[in-house]
Amino acid sequence: MTDDKSAIIDLRKVCMAFPKRSGEPLLVLDDINVSIRAGEILGLLGRSGSGKSTLLRIAAGLIRPTSGAVLYRGVPLTEPAEGIAVVFQTFALFPWLTVLQNVEAGLDALGLPREEARQRAQDAIDLIGLDGFQSAYPRELSGGMRQRVGFARATATRPDLLLMDEPFSALDVLTAETLRTDFLDLWVEHQLPTKSVLMVTHNIEEAVLMCDRLVVLSSNPARIAAEIPVTLPHPRNRLEEEFGNIVDNVYSVLTARTISSLGAFKKTHEGLAQPLPPASVNRMSGLIEILAAPPYSGRAELDTLASSLALEINDLFPIAEGLHILEFAELKDGALKLTTAGIVFARSNTDERKRLFREHLLQFVPLTAHIFRILQEREGHRAPRTRFEVELEDHLNHDDAERTLRAATAWGRYAELFAYDDKARAFSTIGT
């Protein structure tokens, strides 16, 4: 066995690219170097779509990187290996197997004698606190209990490396907290039969609460934006000043990255390459109103906003980013500040808001301005959606292009900049 200081798994210069429709590769992960050492919980933080789940799957041997190497115990990893177990965000339990059978299924590949497999499964079930539920089927269980089965199934294999893909994000707040503390208790007391943990999450507080080291990923493509050690002793207290400082620090790293990538997009391809966040007009208006009113009066820290609105960064960031792109607010140093236009917007009535929104769409969002101009130029003032799809997919992958076009459509419709007929899948001008 390896000694405690050496790396269990080593990701070296890992790059991942998926082909775009045009056939060109689109880079998702760029030059990622991470190694996980025995005895630590490593947190992989990033926005949704930043490629962190892809990275976890590469570490699991489920997918192979386009370039770079993954060394598991010094040997190149090419497929799922003994000693690496995964806990899934969606639990991934077999609905037709009971709790006990599900846990035993994880041991199938080890080829253990029947009695030993049963004993190991039973031990894992006892440890994770599932005793009494052995004969239950997953659909009889609450989300929290289901994820406990997920943990039991993974730990029963006694893995060197436990990979957790947003394990608590499908659970409600209270259940997630219980599972987190239970997991941490077992980990701190060295009761878990696993040597190291890699956890992917977009919940910053959760990461600071649980991990010994954070790797923060930027988006499009994902690069390592920062590596932040967390040396606070367990159990950690969210109200402690040092805890708050680390959370702030992570927020600043994430916003700094967001702003710089937004800026970079504006310069390339006349701004068409800029992915638009899935922020609905209602949510953006709501956030403007909240920001304009006391106690914020125009400016708020993102972590304060997130906790007071009970939004996770995955929900809050797209809205903030939308406001930033539309220049109704400015995203800077982990805070969001309304611009003059944003303040005017907050005070306006519906028609004035629409007019203001329209102006900003034409001025600051190249895609909506582009659609508008094409419609004006075209005879008949109509254009099929596919025309813009193809154009976007020159710069973005299929999903991002789809999301971006959907956001542009919703914004343009609200602002009455253009109309869209979903049945015919075509844009047209309004009132002509």
Partner 1 sequence: MEHHAEVLSGGVWRQRPATWRDLVALVLIVAIILLIGSGASQMLAPLAAGQQPEISLAPSALPNYALRTTMRMLAALVASFIFTFTYGTLAAKSRRAEMVLVPLLDVLQSVPVLGYLSFTVVFFVSLSPNRALGVELAAIFAIFTSQAWNMAFSFFQALRTIPYDLDEASRSFRFSGWQRFWRLEVPFAMPGLIWNTMMSMSGGWFFVVASEAISVGKLQVALPGIGSYVARAIAERDLAAVGWAIAAMTVTIFIYDQLLFRPLVAWADKFRYEQTAAMVVPKSWIVDLYRRTSLLRMVGGAVGATTQAVARARLSFRSVGGPLKGWKLPSGLLDVAWYGLVLLIIADIGWNLLQFAGAELSWTDLFDAISNGGLTLLRVAILIVIATAIWVPIGVAVGLRPVWAEKVQPVAQFLAAFPANLLFPIAVYLIVRFQVSPTIWLSPLMILGTQWYILFNVIAGASAFPTDFKEAAATFRIRGWRWWRDVMLPGIFPYYVTGAITASGGAWNASIVSEAVSWGPTKLNGSGLGAYIAQMTEAGDYPRIALGIAVMSVLVVGTNRLLWRPLYAYAERRARLD
Residue among 153 and 202 whose Cβ is closer to partner 1: 153
Using CB under 8 A as the binding rule, whether residue 106 contacts partner 1 is answered as yes
List the x/- string, 143-162, binding to partner 1 by CB under 8 A.
---x------x---x-----
Under the binding rule (CB under 8 A), the answer on residue 84 touching partner 1 is yes
Asked whether the CA dihedral 123, 124, 129, 134 is positive or negative, the reply is negative
Minimum distance, C-beta of residue 280 to partner 1, in the bound complex (Å): 14
Q: Which stretch binds partner 1 (CB under 8 A): 129-137, 298-306, 332-340, 368-376?
A: 129-137
Alpha carbon distance 341, 331 (integer Å): 15
Least gap, CB of 158 to partner 1 (angstroms)? 13
Size of site (CB under 8 A) for partner 1:
40
Does residue number 135 form part of the binding site for partner 1 (CB under 8 A)?
A: yes
Q: Is 57 in the site for partner 1 (CB under 8 A)?
A: yes
Q: Is 88 one of the binding residues for partner 1 (CB under 8 A)?
A: yes
Nearer to partner 1, 47 or 153 (CB): 153
The C-alpha atoms of residue 130 and residue 352 are separated, in whole angstroms, by 58
**Residues across the chain:** 432
What are the residue ranges of helices labelled H in 302-418?
302-309, 313-325, 340-347, 350-364, 366-377, 385-392, 398-414
Among 111, 294, 380, 431, binds partner 1 (CB under 8 A): 111
Q: 63 and 77 in contact (C-beta within 8 Å)?
A: no
Cα dihedral 369, 370, 372, 376 sign: positive
Rounded Cα–Cα distance for residues 323 and 216 (Å): 23
What single-letter DSSP state applies at residue 140? Answer: G
CA distance 407 to 345: 20
From candidates 69, 109, 424, 430, binder to partner 1 by CB under 8 A: 109
Q: Under DSSP, is residue 269 helix (H, G, I), strand (E, B) or coil?
A: helix
Neighbouring C-beta atoms of residue 251, cutoff 10 Å: 20
The nearest distance, CB 141 to partner 1, in angstroms, is: 9
Which pair of structure tokens corresponds to residue 220? 């499009």
Element (H, E) at 326: none
Residue 318 binding partner 1, by CB under 8 A: no
Is residue 101 a contact point for partner 1 (CB under 8 A)? Answer: yes
Binding mask 8-37 for partner 1 (x = CB under 8 A): ------------------------------
Structure tokens at 54: 């892809």
Judged by the rule CB under 8 A, the positions of this chain that interact with partner 1 are: 57, 60-62, 79-82, 84-86, 88-97, 100-101, 105-106, 108-109, 111, 114, 122, 132, 134-135, 137-140, 146, 153, 157
